[in-house]
Amino acid sequence: MRKLLVIGIGAGNPDHMTVQAIDGLNRADVLLIPDKGAKKNDLAELRRHICDRFVTNPNSRRVEFDVPVRAEPAPSYRSTVDDWHEAIAAIYEDLIRDELSQDGCGAFLIWGDPSLYDSALRILERVRMRGNVDFELEVIPGITAVQALAAGHKMALNRIGDAIAITTGRRLTEEGLPDNAGSTVVMLDGKCAFNTLDDKDLVIHWGAYLGTPDEILISGRLGDVGDEIMKTREEARRKKGWIMDTYLLRKPGEPEDVDS
């Protein structure tokens, strides 16, 4: 049976690659590299760099494939995502059937970790449900942007015994901070959703291009550093053509001790 490895490659630093991930890359006959368009060329470039640096298997080959752009989320976010995933599932199905032999092994290189705000596993489940190709799945975890943020700021994600929430910029704007979490990590925020919060005494730990040579870190009271983050973010986005940022919000308070 065909085998698919879904490999977390870390959040932008090739040194995030684990031994298990490197081993996975070298077990694959086919390395599947998504191309998400010119703006995200740097992301495809990092995947190529990872293959150049870590793949020693002379028999593997790379297959690059285009990923369709998601339509604007109207009228419903869920139905837009559903259509988009269906389109990608058709592409995955073709790749698996056409690029892998019956007992071949393919690897998807997934940004960060496949379990966190990434749809590859859900889309592969769709492919399986379509019933046209069969495959075995193996998931290899990777370092997430959340871990890279905590490392960059040299901080623990949680305060002692406290809960952590991970949410998106869209949800933060619509619902505010989750009230049952001591710390909230926000991802997928193209619009500086922290700006919509009334409580300017919150502490924010913000990071962009985490783990890369372009990493930017800003921390402080939201009321003091919010504008600086927005300005820095916009300048960096304009200069580079794209940006990925993640941040943690929490109320000010106790020294940030950790559970041992």
Contact residues toward ligand SAM (CB under 6 A) are 11-12, 111-113, 116-118, 144-145, 148, 187-188, 207-211, 244-246
Q: Which residue is nearest to ligand SAM, using beta carbons? A: 112
- Which residue number, 34 or 182, has a Cβ lying nearer to ligand SAM? 34
CB of 16 to ligand SAM, least distance (A): 9
- Which residue number, 77 or 201, has a Cβ lying nearer to ligand SAM? 77
Report residue 237 CA to chain centroid gap. Answer: 17
Given a contact cutoff of 8 angstroms between Cβ atoms, the answer to whether 107 and 5 are in contact is yes
- Which residue number, 35 or 99, has a Cβ lying nearer to ligand SAM? 35
- Which residue number, 12 or 226, has a Cβ lying nearer to ligand SAM? 12
- Rounded Cα gap, residues 248 and 157, in angstroms: 8
Q: Backbone dihedral region of 128: left (phi > 0), alpha (psi from -120 to 50 degrees) or beta?
A: alpha
Given a contact cutoff of 8 angstroms between Cβ atoms, the answer to whether 30 and 107 are in contact is yes
CB of 110 to ligand SAM, least distance (A): 6
CB of 169 to ligand SAM, least distance (A): 8
- Which residue number, 36 or 104, has a Cβ lying nearer to ligand SAM? 36
- Rounded Cα gap, residues 123 and 88, in angstroms: 7
Pairing of strands 2-8, 105-110: parallel
CA angle 101, 106, 109 (to 5 degrees): 160
Place of tokens 């998601």: 70
CB of 111 to ligand SAM, least distance (A): 5
